[in-house]
Amino acid sequence: MSDAVLLVGHGSVEKAEDIPAFLANIRHGRPTPPAIVEEVTRRFLAIGGSPLLGISQAQAAALATRLGVRVEVGMRLFTPYARDVVRILAAEGVTRLVSLPLAPFSTHLYNPLVAEACAANGITCLPVGPWGEEPALVEAFAETVREAHAPGAHVVFTAHSLPLRVLSAGDRYEHEVRSTMEAVARRVGCARYSVAFQSQGMDGGEWLGPDLPTTMARLVREGDGAVLFSAIGFLADHTEVLFDLDVEARGQAEALGLRYHRAASLNARSSFIDALEALARRALTGAAGAA
């Protein structure tokens, strides 16, 4: 029996010319308005490109060293596609595969893709269920808030927004985000904190809030002079962190007279790898939650 772990991510591109294809995947083939392609490309270039794939691969390498088993990265919406990675692993003799989504609040979107690929290739799939309150993850986020050294700043915990129609259909995303926020706030001992949902879609519809501008305007009305963003909905630096927070939200904060701070992303820090290790070991011993 040969075991492996697949870290399953959302996906990103490394070249600007791949952005139209990536957006087509996100939109399930619906045509992307040229203005959206142009804006996404502008943001991508403004931060020098997305480091997400490279960081995910570094996370995999660190986890493989801990576990002593093969760890690979596969993505939902761009290369390397999870289904292709599963096929390669099967051909190379892997018989059990841990599906570990790099999206603690949305594991139900990731695990079925891996399970289907595993079934097609004769591999036993070991899925990791929602893990936003994994103790080592909570501690890793708390560690970054402490390291930010922003005493007195109002801590705003952020996560990606979702269309309200998704939540109306029963998705527990908002509940899980808020539960993680409360766990991290308790761990840090935050005096003042809020949640905000960022990176709303560009083509309309109703999205989960409050958004970042609304939240920052409220902080100013309440007399806060500084804000510390902790992006608990993201496990690595990419466009939503490096542009939506460090460029766009920073500019909005400064225009309002708020001092801007951001807790570092988890990336491949040791305390975050502790969380991945705990999850993978439980899955391999049959103790992980169901997908």
Q: What is the pLDDT of residues 88-132, one digit of tens each?
A: 999 999 999 999 999 999 999 999 999 999 999 999 999 999 999
Q: What is the mean pLDDT of residues 56-74?
A: 98
**pTM for the full model?**
0.95
Residue intervals in the chain for CATH 3.40.50.1400: 3-131+269-284, 135-262
Angle at 204 between CA 221 and CA 74, to 5 degrees: 100
pLDDT value at residue 290: 39
Count CA within 13 A, CB hemisphere, residue 117: 27
How far apart are alpha carbons 226 and 105 in whole angstroms? 28
Quick one: what percent of the chain has pLDDT higher than 90?
Answer: 95
Fold classification of 3-131+269-284 (topology level): Rossmann fold (3.40.50)
Domain boundaries 135-262, corresponding CATH code: 3.40.50.1400
Exposure pattern of 198-208 as b/e (b: 16+ CB <10 Å)? bbbeeeeeebb
Read off the pLDDT of residues 253-272 as tens digits, 9 standing for 90 and up.
999 999 999 999 999 999 99
